[in-house]
Amino acid sequence: MIDCSFGEPERGKGMPIALVVHGGAWPIPDDQVAPHQQGCQVALASGWSVLEAGGTALDACEAAVRYLEDDPTFNAGTGSVLNAEGDVELDAAIMDGQTLAYGAVVNLHRIRNPISLARSVLVGPATMLASDGAERFAIAQNIPLCDNKDLVVERERLLWQQWKANCNASLLDLKQTSPARSSPQSAGHDTVGAIALDVHGSLIAANSTGGTPFKLPGRVGDTPLVGCGLYADVLVGACVCTGWGEAITQMALSRRAVELLEHRISPQLAAEHMVKALGRRVGGIGGCIVLSADGRVGLAWNTPRMAYAYRVEGRPTAWGV
């Protein structure tokens, strides 16, 4: 019989503070390794300074993800991939492992830092807001709107132009010609994410993305979906995913990784198992970060590279691409 007797955590009693961030899993080209590495390290440092000063996991995750959203290297906020119509369209979510509450925002335009809007949604009364409604909520929360074009970088504009030139598809044809149906290796996918444990006993998971390149307008991937792109339960741990959102959603990957922690599987084995299952079961590609409630880290990906950095109190910082 499976042991499900995970007890109440005793956080704050000798449990370490911890922060894990990722900057996406995809065939990161050699010339983009350094900026990915640097971005993850700086994001980690900005979240870590919050945790170290006794701040909350919520503030630490928001700080880390905001940094990655502002860094044009990554597919989140500024620098996001463009959809089939050449627009930036953003999704983000944040989940509180103590209350199991979440805030998610989808199909956003004109929001520079979707993670901050997701954090506002976490307070309620809605749990997920889309598009115009999310924009109106942002205005009510005094979150400034930008011009959507301000989020577009030259690199992505050129990639979109190349794609458009090779693809004379009408909108109706896009289902067949979207990257989800063509070579997944051909396109980048570097959603960003973070998981933090704080001194107060909170566990938070957060992520933010521009989605998949040249996606159908209105398409939503795993990132803002609880149990798919992210899940956090302070009784056991949290998981945040990156990669092909349709496949990650089919697998309910993050919830299943956390379920493995419930069965006392280590975070590293849980991450490896779920990424293998993603590939085997639905041919999905991507990666995930896992953090257990007692501060153990797991990382796995089946893409050529994944950018990450993490730190657990009392141990040196680790990073890699």
Residue 109 or 296 having the CB closest to ligand ASP: 109
Which residues neighbour 64 within 8 Å (Cβ) at sequence distance 6 or greater? Answer: 19, 21, 43, 44, 46, 47, 194, 196, 206
Q: Is the distance from CB of 76 to CB of 204 less than 8 angstroms?
A: no
> Is 24 a residue that touches ligand ASP (CB under 6 A)?
yes
> Is 222 a residue that touches ligand ASP (CB under 6 A)?
yes
> Is 243 a residue that touches ligand ASP (CB under 6 A)?
yes
The question of whether 191 is a catalytic residue gets the answer yes
> Is 191 a residue that touches ligand ASP (CB under 6 A)?
yes
> Is 223 a residue that touches ligand ASP (CB under 6 A)?
yes
Q: Which of 190, 198, 259, 294 binds ligand ASP (CB under 6 A)?
A: 190
Q: Which of 112, 119, 189, 305 binds ligand ASP (CB under 6 A)?
A: 189
Please give the Cα distance from 1 to 13 (Å, whole number).
31
Q: Which of 242, 254, 292, 303 binds ligand ASP (CB under 6 A)?
A: 242
> Is 178 a residue that touches ligand ASP (CB under 6 A)?
no
Q: Which of 32, 37, 46, 75 binds ligand ASP (CB under 6 A)?
A: 75
Residue 26, CB-side half-sphere exposure with 13 Å CA sphere: 25
> Is 209 a residue that touches ligand ASP (CB under 6 A)?
yes
> Number of residues in contact with ligand ASP, rule: CB under 6 A?
15
Q: Is the distance from CB of 65 to CB of 59 less than 8 angstroms?
A: no
Within the chain, strands assigned E span 18-26, 90-96, 102-108, 128-130, 192-197, 203-209, 230-233, 237-243, 286-292, 297-301, 305-312, 318-320
> Is 212 a residue that touches ligand ASP (CB under 6 A)?
yes
Which residues neighbour 72 within 8 Å (Cβ) at sequence distance 6 or greater? Answer: 78, 79, 153, 155
Closest approach, Cβ 191 to ligand ASP, in A, equals 3
Residue 245 or 267 having the CB closest to ligand ASP: 245
Structure tokens at 43: 């994001």
Residues with a catalytic annotation lie at 191
